[in-house]
Amino acid sequence: MKKIQHLLSFFKKSAFEKNLVLLIGYSTNNLLLFQTALNHRSVKEHSSENNERLEFLGDAIISSVVADYLFKKYPYKGEGFLTEMRSKMVNRQQLNHIAIQMGLKRLTKFNKLDGGLKTSQIFIYG
């Protein structure tokens, strides 16, 4: 019975919620956080309504996780090697490519008429 209720609740969700569940693999109670994370500043000017602050935090977390991974994987390598490897792994083009492959562009709200986005990495691919 629980599976049926869960399935029925899935069909009641908005398209955004359904796509988010399919992307991240679980349903969330904090949908507003995900909506904010996927609002580009071209549609929401106020910093509490767009993804810039969350992007800053996410970038720092990704960099930290990659640094920890490299530190453990290469215990005898020096700081210069580790820094170079991290910068190759955590760069805007690489992360944008991963975001496109994950399908984040479909969920991201952005102003398609904003000419400045033609040079923005995530919007020129895919």
Domain contains 20: no
Domain contains 120: yes
Q: What is the pLDDT of residue 85?
A: 96
Residues 36 and 52: beta-carbon distance below 8 Å: no
Q: Which residues of 83-109 are buried (b: 16+ CB within 10 A; e: fewer)?
A: eebbeeebeeeebbeebbeeebbebbe
Report how many domains make up the chain.
1
The C-alpha atoms of residue 76 and residue 52 are separated, in whole angstroms, by 36
Q: What is the pLDDT of residue 108?
A: 80
Containing domain of residue 51, as a range?
38-124
Residue 53 belongs to domain with CATH number: 1.10.1520.10
Domain contains 14: no
**pLDDT digit string (tens) for the chain, length 126 residues:** 666 655 556 556 788 888 888 888 888 888 888 888 888 777 766 766 778 888 889 889 999 999 999 999 999 999 999 999 999 999 888 888 888 888 887 888 777 666 656 555 555 544
Instruction: Give the three-class secondary structure for 45.
Output: coil
Domain contains 81: yes
Domain contains 88: yes
Q: For residue 21, what are the contacts with CB-CB under 8 A and spacing of at least 6? A: 10, 13, 27
Domain contains 76: yes
Q: What is the pLDDT of residue 88?
A: 92
The C-alpha atoms of residue 90 and residue 66 are separated, in whole angstroms, by 8
Q: What is the pLDDT of residue 86?
A: 95
